[in-house]
Amino acid sequence: MKKRDKIIYWIATGLLSALMLMSASMYFMKYEMVNQTFTFLGFPSFVI
């Protein structure tokens, strides 16, 4: 791999990991808000 490809790979991996961590923290910190949103959309709460 070229150096440029490695840099692009690690940037993309870091951004995706940060997005997943923020999503998981949203479920733990603001569960009631997420539960209300899923209920409003018509999904049962066990989908969360």
The pLDDT value given to residue 24: 84
Per-residue pLDDT tens digits for 1-48: 799 999 999 999 999 999 999 888 877 787 888 888 888 999 887 777
Query: What CA–CA distance (Å, rounded) separates 34 from 26?
Result: 8
- What SS3 class is residue 29? helix
Residue 34 near residue 26, CB atoms below 8 Å: yes
Q: What is the pLDDT of residue 4?
A: 94
pTM over 0.85: no
State the number of CA atoms in the 13 A half-sphere of 23 facing the CB: 7
